[in-house]
Amino acid sequence: MDLHVSLDSRSDLAGQIYRQIRAAILDGLLGPGQPLPSSRDLATRLALSRNTVSVAYDRLVAEGFVVGRAGVGTYVSDQISVPAPARPDEPGVPLRPRSEWEAQGEPADLSATEPEYDFRPGMPDVRLFPFATWRALVGRQLRLSAARLGAYADPAGHPGLRAAIARHVGVSRAVHATADDILVTSGTQQALDLISRVLLAPGDVVAMEDPGYRPAWRLFHSSGAQMVGVPVDSDGMVVDALPSRARLVYVSPSHQFPLGMSMSLSRRLGLLAWAERAGAVIVEDDYDSEFRYTGRPIESLQSLDRTGRVVYVGSVSKTMLPTLRLGFCAAPRSLFAALRKAKYVADWHTALPMQAALAEFIDRGLLARHIRRMRGVYLARRNQIEICLDRDFGEHLQVASSLAGLHLAAWLKSGSTEEALAVVRRAREVEVAITALSDFARCAPRPAGLVLGYGLITLDRIEEGLRLLHGCFVR
């Protein structure tokens, strides 16, 4: 390792080296088993005789801080255990982030817990992901692309992936886009970030469904936007309730998050007409509509857009793995160049080997095959949940109608938001993870209900998980 030693005088050189290495070990900067540089290397770097360094090393060995392994090198002793280095206190007046950041919630670490009966929404079953195929594709790209991987690439994305995405969303979601309209991003979240950089100034009004997708709310809020929640009914977002000053409307028309209805055609046309009158942009988040179980697929809102008002946003977080952080947007021509520049200043481009592997995954029909397989798996889980809810929860829950996705929402038939939260708390005590609908709401009245995801819970655990959940309702 490149150990930093600084000599501040020419006296007691061996002592200075000894003290600095000893301090690095005691402060936990050099951990048990870590190698020290060879005495020859360190002597050359410090322009000293090798003997001076050896004197310091011999003293560290004699005191048990390090051990010499003949012919291999010198290592920090395994016997040394020191607490993890503490961050030093910062003297003086602390720096303050902008107020939007102080008000932000803590980032959720969804991998931190693994409840026994996991009904958390928003997560696909990664245990069924074809990891071996994906590894082979990424590995092949790393080998094939060795010559190209040294240079920064086009911020808009890998050309093959842009074309593959345009075809995929054209076929499956009737999105009107060519490869030139597709910008590859690090997930939906980055697409929203780029859109907000390009379109929003502090104080601009952003309208969102309420209840709605919290990460989107947080993102627009962090850019200084004035956030307005718009109510949702059985036809989706209530267009008549949109604030006239809204500059941007974020909406999930295929499968409203979290309630699950799809936006009716008349509402869709109404929203497009409203956006044209208001000079606003619509961000369509089409996050999980690939998993549609019954009925005719409703085409994307973007496919109805005739005036270039809609930015269509998607990702493979639900269809593949959320940790890939691969997403995209199909943007109107009027915005594309600015979005590409925003991507460039944000992170230059998304990891190229991953993009190339995804292009191949789509082109070889592997994404479509995985979606087909997972649709069957999720449908079976969803049917089982619906059977149990119908059979056992009639007095407690009214399931919201929904034809797609990876979760179901259900209203409490009687009872308040607090009671729904109490059910969630009691459920947690018996290892059942569910979410309260009110967690997704921003403005009063907060809905009293539950959200049950089926991305993670396996078929054989549903019955028992819901039996335990039933016991969490107070009769």
Ligand X SMILES: Cc1ncc(COP(=O)(O)O)c(C=O)c1O
- Return the exposure string of 384-414: e unless at least 16 CB atoms fall within 10 Å of the residue's CB, then b: bbeebbeeebeebbebbebbbbbbbbbbbee
Which listed range, 49-57, 151-159, 230-238, 315-323, lies at the site for ligand X (CB under 6 A)? 315-323
Annotate 352-369 with DSSP letters as a single string: HHHHHHHHHHHHTTHHHH
Q: Pull the structure tokens for residue 459.
A: 């078929």
Site for ligand X in 84-143 (CB under 6 A): 122
Our measurement of the distance from residue 59's CA atom to the centroid of its chain's CA atoms, rounded to an integer in Å, reads 50
Q: Which is nearer to ligand X, 327 or 353 (CB)?
A: 327
Q: Pull the structure tokens for residue 44.
A: 């050359």
* CB-CB contact of 407 with 389 (8 Å): no
CA–CA separation, 25 vs 434, rounded Å?
45
Backbone angles phi, psi at 449, to 5 degrees: -175, -175
- Beta strands in 300-371, from DSSP E residues, in sequence order: 310-315, 327-330
Instruction: State which of residues 39, 189, 196, 438 lies at the interface with ligand X (CB under 6 A).
Output: 189
Q: Which is nearer to ligand X, 257 or 378 (CB)?
A: 257
Count, residues in the chain: 475
Residue 315 interacts with ligand X (CB under 6 A)?
A: yes
Which burial class, exposed, middle or buried, applies to 431 when counting CB atoms under 10 A from its CB (0-12, 13-18, 19+)?
middle
Shortest Å, Cβ 231 to ligand X:
17
The radius of gyration of the chain's CA atoms, rounded to the nearest angstrom, is 28
Residue 302 interacts with ligand X (CB under 6 A)?
A: no
Which listed range, 131-139, 181-189, 352-360, 445-453, lies at the site for ligand X (CB under 6 A)? 181-189
Residue 188 interacts with ligand X (CB under 6 A)?
A: yes
Residue 411 interacts with ligand X (CB under 6 A)?
A: no
* CB-CB contact of 317 with 358 (8 Å): no
CA distances from 16 to 8, 46, 446 (A): 8, 12, 65
Residue 317 interacts with ligand X (CB under 6 A)?
A: yes
Instruction: State which of residues 18, 57, 213, 328 lies at the interface with ligand X (CB under 6 A).
Output: 213
Instruction: State which of residues 322, 447, 449, 465 lies at the interface with ligand X (CB under 6 A).
Output: 322
Residue 65 interacts with ligand X (CB under 6 A)?
A: no
- If one counts every other C-beta atom within 10 angstroms of the C-beta of residue 129, the result is 16
CA–CA separation, 463 vs 458, rounded Å?
10
Which listed range, 27-35, 71-79, 140-148, 186-194, lies at the site for ligand X (CB under 6 A)? 186-194
Residue 287 interacts with ligand X (CB under 6 A)?
A: yes
Residue 378 interacts with ligand X (CB under 6 A)?
A: no
Shortest Å, Cβ 283 to ligand X:
11
Q: Which is nearer to ligand X, 60 or 436 (CB)?
A: 436
Shortest Å, Cβ 323 to ligand X:
9
Q: Which is nearer to ligand X, 37 or 122 (CB)?
A: 122
Instruction: State which of residues 285, 290, 305, 360 lies at the interface with ligand X (CB under 6 A).
Output: 285
Residue indicated by tokens 């149990």: 388
Total chain residues near ligand X (CB under 6 A): 13
Map residues 249-278 to x or -, x wherever contact with ligand X holds by CB under 6 A.
---x----x---------------------
Shortest Å, Cβ 328 to ligand X:
9
CA–CA separation, 343 vs 359, rounded Å?
19
**Which residues are near ligand X by CB under 6 A?**
122, 187-189, 213, 252, 257, 285, 287, 315, 317, 322, 327
